């Protein structure tokens, strides 16, 4: 950002936080430092619920930030220059939330870390969103959704039996475990501030966020629900009543008939195989022959 007077800088800060829609987060001021998808998504969700979000882009930056800029204002700052850092400090002194999408140590190197900004504004929620967290051997490492999925353990559960694990769309780690969990942390911190009057530092990261979202998976991995190898469980494509089938027109149909009454209708209404079953014990409710027989019957019906 070019040099300017203190008056111009104050005017810029005031104009950046113009009024937002009358929603639950109305009046909450958020400074979002531009980053890749999880950070912009977090800021967009906050803006969708009424927060006044200002996205701070880096000069010459190229990325996807504009794709998730709904409801935000933006400005360009060079945080490596004293003038740019000074403007950000002024903004954070007036803000409720700072969204930091950088790896551990980046903001401290710019002298814009939590110790500095919380001294300026003790009520600030300093939300740090990273891949691996602010501490540990991976804290300064770069990564992407597939890396966070792998380290969380979830990637090992995704895929067909006998095949390599395959990455899903980058929704689980980037947006779910990262952006959305960070949003939740910010809202909870804002609520806690109504009691204590103090801000805090949030360490949201995609590995731990993804593992947390997968709590049900880990709690059931030693049960009949998820106790089999990858691709052989009830909810991962290993059961004929919960998977996808290719249809005659070259498209695909999703079949999800988990409950006994729906599974009975699926079998008796269409295919009428001579099997009696309850779908709640995948490995035992059908013999291996019957299990593959049901797969075959549904496939033939939908593909013909």
Given the residues 48, 144, 203, 236, select the one marked as catalytic.
144
Given the residues 78, 174, 236, 292, select the one marked as catalytic.
174
Helix 206-213 with 181-196: angle, nearest 10 deg? 90
Residue-by-residue DSSP string for 93-105: HH-SEEEE-SPTT
Residue 144 falls in the annotated catalytic set: yes
Residue-by-residue DSSP string for the chain: -----HHHHHHHHHHHT----SSTTTT-EEEEE--STHHHHHHHHHHHTT-EEEEEEETT--SSGGGG-TTEEEEEE-TTSHHHHHHHHHHHHH-SEEEE-SPTTHHHHTT-SHHHHHHH-TT-EEEEEESS-SSSTTTT----HHHHHHHHTGGGG-S-TTS------TIIIIIIIIIIHHHHHHHHHHHHHHHH---EEEEEEHHHHHHHHTHHHHHTTTSTTT-SSTT-STTTT-BTTEEEEE-TTS-EEEEE--SHHHHHHHIIIII--S----TT-TTTSS-HHHHHHHHHHHHHHHH-
Name the residues annotated as catalytic: 144, 174
């Amino acid at each position: 950002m070019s040099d300017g007077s203190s008056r111009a800088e104050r005017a810029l800060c005031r104009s950046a936080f113009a009024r937002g829609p009358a929603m639950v987060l109305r009046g909450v001021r958020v400074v979002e430092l531009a980053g890749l998808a999880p950070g912009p998504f977090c800021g967009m969700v906050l803006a969708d619920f009424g927060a006044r979000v200002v996205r701070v882009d880096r000069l010459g930056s190229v990325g996807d930030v504009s794709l998730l800029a709904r409801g935000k204002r933006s400005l360009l700052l060079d945080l490596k220059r004293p003038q740019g850092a000074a403007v950000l400090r002024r903004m954070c002194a007036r803000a409720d939330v700072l969204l930091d999408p950088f790896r551990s140590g980046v903001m401290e190197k710019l002298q814009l870390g939590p110790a500095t900004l919380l001294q300026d504004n003790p009520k600030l929620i300093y939300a740090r969103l990273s891949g691996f967290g602010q501490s540990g051997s991976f804290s300064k490492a770069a990564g992407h959704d597939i890396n966070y999925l792998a380290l969380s353990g979830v990637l090992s559960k995704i895929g067909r039996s006998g095949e390599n694990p395959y990455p899903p769309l980058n929704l689980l780690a980037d947006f779910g475990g990262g952006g959305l969990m960070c949003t939740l942390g910010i809202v909870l911190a804002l609520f806690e501030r109504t009691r204590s009057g103090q801000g805090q530092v949030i360490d949201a990261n995609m590995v731990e966020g993804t593992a947390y979202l997968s709590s049900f998976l880990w709690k059931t991995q030693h049960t009949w629900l998820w106790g089999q190898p990858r691709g052989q469980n009830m909810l991962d494509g290993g059961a004929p009543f919960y998977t996808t089938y290719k249809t005659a027109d070259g498209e695909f149909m999703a079949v999800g008939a988990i409950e006994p009454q729906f599974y009975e209708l699926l079998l008796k209404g269409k295919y009428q195989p001579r099997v009696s079953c309850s779908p709640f014990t995948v490995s035992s409710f059908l013999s291996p022959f019957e299990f593959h027989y049901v797969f075959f019957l549904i496939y033939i019906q939908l593909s013909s």
